[in-house]
């Protein structure tokens, strides 16, 4: 679309309780800055909630909507129909499914209106049966629950996905990246560059970039073969791959893989693999009602007793105690090694030393 041919495009931002404010405002700010650079209001937006009442974001701020789901469904038959609906959610997304909203999402697609899910919005799209045989992404913290809830949906770990009119992104700052890609599709790279200057953003990330990277990757120093090995581990948490198979996949011997992990991540590949499985287990314990034995199987453990023992030695608490102590109103993401400082990583590894030796 050229600027001369551009026609106004309206967006509806559907927000649910506990939505992520950063993702929501990042998307809107991208549109606002595009209007500012263009010098006219090409993009407009309004906010909708399920019942038209204010909802509170996960940060505690209250947002007052412009419309409700019922009003938006009626507007699909008028000239006020939007060009795109953006679903903004966040914590406890499984508690905020809504039959009327799901029907609205389906009606939106039936009328060939684009739709997007940001942060955990893909969960609501999948719950509305819109993601069968489609690619999508969701925030990394919610990926284990999402994969268990919707095993037939093709979920990826990149920042964003677009598949036949349905978009999804992992949330946070990735929403700005997604909107820049959409704006670039409308107006081309010149406008994107000008908006980046206004936002003081140095680059727009590619959709395929991974949501999470080990610390050394962020410092541009990790061997790409280790990154490939980690990707294979993340893709096979339930059906654990033998270390020899991982080594073959990255064209190295097992000894070479072990040496690279020790040199660059200060741990063995087996220990790192176990860490990934136990992190996934913690997310399933805190975010689902799955039985402990089911979680053990989903994380690649051969028995519930072995799983509980490893879990306690790594996290310092049993799976059931974790669930019992969970605070429903304030849930924090599980810590990940690369998010910690080096000293904390070393402390964690020392405290879990004995449990990590018991890799099945």
The answer to whether the beta carbons of residues 55 and 62 sit under 8 Å apart is yes
Does some domain include residue 152? Answer: yes
Average pLDDT over residues 69-79: 96
Q: Do 149 and 269 reside in the same domain of the chain?
A: no
> CA 213 to CA 53: how far, in whole Å?
39
Measured N-to-C along each axis, helices 254-265 and 224-235 cross at an angle, to the nearest 10 degrees, of: 100
> CA 358 to CA 21: how far, in whole Å?
41
Does some domain include residue 208? Answer: no
More confident residue, 343 or 66: 66
Task: Pick the last residue of a domain from 199, 231, 266.
Answer: 199
Write out the E strands in the chain. Answer: 9-15, 43-49, 55-56, 62-63, 67-68, 84-88, 114-118, 135-137, 154-156, 160-163, 166-169
Q: Is 182 helix (H, G, I), strand (E, B) or coil?
A: helix
Assign residue 293 the CATH number of its domain: 1.10.10.60
The mean of the pLDDT values for the chain is 86
The answer to whether the beta carbons of residues 237 and 295 sit under 8 Å apart is no
**Please, how many CA atoms are within 13 Å of residue 292, restricted to the half-sphere of its CB?**
15
Contacts of residue 305, defined as CB under 8 A and 6 or more positions apart, other chains included, come to none
- Give the DSSP per-residue string, 242-259: PHHHHHHHTTS-HHHHHH
Does some domain include residue 205? Answer: no
Measured N-to-C along each axis, helices 174-187 and 21-38 cross at an angle, to the nearest 10 degrees, of: 30
Does some domain include residue 209? Answer: no
| Token pair belonging to 227 | 């990154």
Measured N-to-C along each axis, helices 174-187 and 189-199 cross at an angle, to the nearest 10 degrees, of: 140
Q: Can you give the pTM of this predicted structure?
A: 0.70
Contacts of residue 39, defined as CB under 8 A and 6 or more positions apart, other chains included, come to none
Reported as a pLDDT band with limits 50, 70 and 90, residue 138 is very high
Q: Do 228 and 162 reside in the same domain of the chain?
A: no
Q: Do 96 and 29 reside in the same domain of the chain?
A: yes
Counting the structural domains of the chain, the total is 2
pLDDT digit string (tens) for 309-352? 999 999 999 999 998 886 544 343 333 333 333 333 333 333 33
> CA 86 to CA 28: how far, in whole Å?
10
pLDDT over 90 percentage in the chain: 64
More confident residue, 342 or 55: 55
DSSP character for 225? Answer: H
More confident residue, 156 or 30: 30
Beta strands across the sheet bearing 114-118: 67-68, 43-49, 9-15, 84-88, 114-118, 166-169, 160-163
Q: Do 182 and 221 reside in the same domain of the chain?
A: no
Q: Is 97 helix (H, G, I), strand (E, B) or coil?
A: coil
pLDDT of 214:
53
Q: How far is CA 109 from CA 21, 186, 359, in A?
A: 25, 20, 47
Q: Do 104 and 221 reside in the same domain of the chain?
A: no
Q: Do 183 and 256 reside in the same domain of the chain?
A: no
Task: Pick the last residue of a domain from 199, 230, 264.
Answer: 199
pLDDT digit string (tens) for 203-217? 898 888 877 765 445
Reported as a pLDDT band with limits 50, 70 and 90, residue 141 is confident
Q: Do 15 and 155 reside in the same domain of the chain?
A: yes
Q: Do 163 and 116 reside in the same domain of the chain?
A: yes
Q: Do 282 and 346 reside in the same domain of the chain?
A: yes
Q: Do 51 and 182 reside in the same domain of the chain?
A: yes
Does some domain include residue 2? Answer: no
Contacts of residue 191, defined as CB under 8 A and 6 or more positions apart, other chains included, come to 3, 34, 37, 38, 183, 184
> CA 116 to CA 38: how far, in whole Å?
24
Does some domain include residue 1? Answer: no
Does some domain include residue 93? Answer: yes
Q: Do 296 and 168 reside in the same domain of the chain?
A: no
Radius of gyration of the chain (CA): 22
Which run of H or of E encompasses 41?
A: none
Task: Pick the last residue of a domain from 199, 227, 242.
Answer: 199
Instruction: Return the minimum-mean-pLDDT range out of 159-163, 241-245, 301-305, 336-340.
Output: 336-340
> CA 24 to CA 14: how far, in whole Å?
10
Of 356, 194, 180, which is closest to residue 277 (Cα–Cα)?
356
pLDDT of 206:
87
Assign residue 125 the CATH number of its domain: 3.40.50.880
| Token pair belonging to 249 | 């996949």
Q: Do 163 and 73 reside in the same domain of the chain?
A: yes
Which residues form the domain of 55? 9-199
Does some domain include residue 130? Answer: yes
């Amino acid at each position: 679309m050229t600027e001369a041919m551009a026609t106004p495009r309206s967006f509806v931002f559907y927000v649910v309780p506990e939505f992520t404010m950063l993702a929501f405002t990042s998307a809107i700010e991208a549109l606002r800055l595009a209007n500012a650079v263009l010098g006219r209001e090409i993009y407009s937006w309004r906010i909708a909630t399920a019942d038209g009442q204010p909802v509170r974001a996960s940060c505690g701020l209250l947002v007052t909507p412009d419309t409700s789901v019922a009003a938006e469904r009626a507007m699909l038959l008028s000239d006020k129909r939007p060009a795109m609906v953006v679903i903004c959610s966040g914590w406890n997304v499984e508690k905020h499914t809504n039959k009327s909203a799901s029907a609205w999402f389906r009606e939106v697609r039936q009328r060939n209106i684009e739709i997007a899910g940001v942060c955990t919005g893909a969960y609501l799209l999948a719950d509305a049966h819109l993601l069968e045989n489609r690619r999508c992404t969701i925030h990394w913290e919610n990926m284990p629950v999402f994969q268990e809830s919707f095993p037939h949906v093709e979920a990826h770990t990149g920042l964003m996905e677009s598949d036949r009119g349905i978009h999804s992104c992992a949330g946070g700052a990735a929403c700005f990246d997604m909107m820049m890609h959409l704006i670039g599709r409308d107006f081309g790279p010149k406008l994107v560059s000008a908006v980046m200057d206004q936002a003081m953003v140095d680059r727009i990330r590619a959709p395929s970039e991974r949501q999470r990277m080990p610390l050394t990757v962020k410092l541009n120093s990790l061997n790409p073969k280790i990154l490939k090995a980690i990707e294979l581990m993340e893709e096979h948490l339930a059906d654990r791959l033998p270390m020899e198979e991982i080594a073959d996949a990255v064209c190295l011997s097992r000894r070479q893989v072990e040496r690279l992990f020790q040199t660059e991540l200060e741990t063995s590949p087996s220990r790192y693999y176990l860490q990934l499985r136990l992190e996934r287990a913690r997310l399933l314990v805190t975010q689902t009602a799955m039985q402990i034995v089911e979680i053990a199987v989903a994380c690649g453990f051969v028995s519930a007793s072995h799983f509980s023992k490893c879990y306690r030695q790594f996290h310092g608490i049993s799976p059931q105690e974790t669930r019992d102590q969970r605070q429903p109103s304030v849930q924090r993401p599980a810590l990940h090694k690369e998010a910690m400082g080096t000293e904390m990583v070393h402390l964690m590894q020392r405290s879990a030393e004995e449990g990590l030796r018991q890799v099945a």
